[in-house]
Amino acid sequence: MRRQRGFSLIELMVSSAVTFITVLAVSAAFLGYTQSFYTQAGIRGGQASLRQTHLMVVRNLRMAGYGIEPYRAFDFPANWSRDSATAVNRSDRLVFRMRNPAFSARVDSVTESSVTLTDGLPEKLLRGQIIQLMCPGAIDWTYARLREEAIKGAKVLQLQDKTGAFPNLNQVHNCFSNTGELSSYLFKIDVYDYSIQLIDEDGDPASPGRPYLFRRHGLGNGPEDSFGEPVAEDIEALRVTFVNANGASFIPDPTLDPPIYGMGQNDPRSDNNHPGNIRAVVVGLVARSSTRDSGAAPGAMNQIPSFGRKVDGTPEAALSVDPSTGKPVPYGFRRVVSEMSIQVRNMLSTEMPVPLYYESGGVSPDACKGELPDDEHSFNCAGG
């Protein structure tokens, strides 16, 4: 009779140890792969936010000053600089204006307190909207701000009180009477106000908020809306450097004499440090990964990297605590610094552009009447 033989205790222990080591190795490899994938996904998220921000800011900034005098194109509120006590994450605030090229409405009459349109508004305008009123051929123009919301089709717009300061100029020019063949027009001035805001997403007031780049519109019930709309998440810092015609960076001073239309080529106002002489803007951004590295210690990756220089020319230091909130910079996030230079060609304009379009059904078929182009005549016949 043949004896049956099993595994000895030593063999079982050896096989169990080999199996345990194999499973441990596979698990470690899987965890390492998962952590690497999670980290790379977070990095890609930060890079996507960076690309999205650059695309939007660059596209908008290239239009800065279109349809408006160059010295009115950029604005510098009291807290625009990174040296301001309220500058979130020691970031700059970028504010500029442009005429919306897709909006126009014919004007019937103008007073200091209201505007009457011939055909009504093509779209709704919100309270606080800046408008530009222009005489035929840009003989003269003025600016005003809406006192209240105006619905699509509205023919009477109520204006905020005249102050004599832009944009509440509310001037009434004789050429607004529309007694001739050409009409006066109303245009919309869009405001782009970019800044960093920290949003409390976890409900814990003690923890740092998540950084977002926001765009304000200069509208709403107050002087401006509090936040506006988010452009991209995880943009931690914004740095803005202004460049003049000589290629040198400078700090714009709105109190200087502004460059104006019709001045001589050698006029000293053409090369001073007024914002009207901005020729390019260098936009620097810091984007962090959308997720924290799971293995990072509290003391690791806890600074917004330094880039740029202070007003006095000395290099900036890395930021570990936000001066405006006193909260530490979140740790464990990978960060990317990016800079891009954008030329603002509209700042070179020497006269007011007049966006007059071909009117196919008018008395004079080839006359420019300010109407939006139709499918048959989809071109701009007078520049702008």
CA distances for 361 relative to 136, 326, 368, 380, angstroms: 19, 64, 11, 16
Asked if 218 and 168 count as a contact pair (C-beta separation under 8 A), the reply is: no
Distance CA 269, CA 258 (A): 6
Distance CA 316, CA 186 (A): 45
pLDDT of residue 158: 96
Q: Which amino acid belongs to residue 49?
A: S
pLDDT of residue 226: 57
pLDDT of residue 39: 57
pLDDT of residue 183: 81
Q: DSSP letters of 96-155?
A: EEEE-TT--EEEEEE-SSEEEESS--SS-B-TT-EEEEE-GGGS-EEEEEBSS-B-TT--
pLDDT of residue 262: 85
- Counting as low any pLDDT under 50, the low residues of the chain are 358-360, 362-364, 367, 369-370, 372-373, 375, 377-384
pLDDT of residue 363: 46
* SS3 category, 332: coil
pLDDT of residue 86: 86
pLDDT of residue 355: 62
pLDDT of residue 55: 85
pLDDT of residue 3: 58
Nearest to 66 by CA among 94, 97, 106, 102: 97
